[in-house]
Amino acid sequence: MQNVGEIDLPEGIGTISNPVCGDITEIYLRIKDGIIQDAKFKSYGCAVTIASASVFTEKIKGKEISGLISGRDEEVVSRLVGLIETELGMLPAEKLHCPPATVQAFFEAICQYNEKAGETQPVSRLKKLIPLVADYYKRGKRDEDDATGT
Ligand code: FES
């Protein structure tokens, strides 16, 4: 498992309690000139949540924030969740709610970073992206409902 731990005095921290099961993910970011220099996480959750945060923090290191959140809102969320899911492979329906928590924690962390820097435009963008993650938490539920005909 890579990137487990905290960063001292990080530029951004995002903490999420997964709305489906309550598992907690915390992302810590070291950011310089808009580039993610380092990313770490702590998780109090299932193996998929831990693997999601590990994969994601590894993939975003060295990336520009502006590039990570560029594109149409839905595209950005789908691309970031996809960064995790392409690595983890096929997940069972009951685990589909795990990866999006990492993406939401990431959005919260860069939101905090921008708030501290007084950057209002990216903050309002991020506040639009965060609710879109909600759909991803429901995916497993929808699959289960389809299977039971509810
Ligand atoms: Fe809820 Fe994985 S985050 S079981």
21-60 residue pLDDT tens: 999 999 999 999 999 999 999 999 999 999 999 999 999 9
Average pLDDT over residues 54-83: 96
For the chain, what are the domain ranges?
12-142
Q: 43 CB under 6 A from ligand 1?
A: no
Pocket test for ligand 1, best of 49, 94, 137 (most atoms within 8 A of CB): 49
The secondary structure of 26-69 as a DSSP string is: EEEEEEETTEEEEEEEEEES-HHHHHHHHHHHHHHTT-BHHHHT
> What pLDDT is recorded for position 119?
86
Of the chain, the end-to-end C-alpha distance in Å amounts to: 38
**12-142, what's its fold?**
Sufe protein. Chain: A (3.90.1010)
Residue 107, CA distances (Å) to 7, 89, 130 in order? 17, 23, 7
Which has the closest alpha carbon to 6: 109, 98, 83?
109
Q: Is 48 in the pocket of ligand 1 (CB under 6 A)?
A: yes
For residue 23 and ligand 1, the question of a CB distance below 6 A is answered with: yes
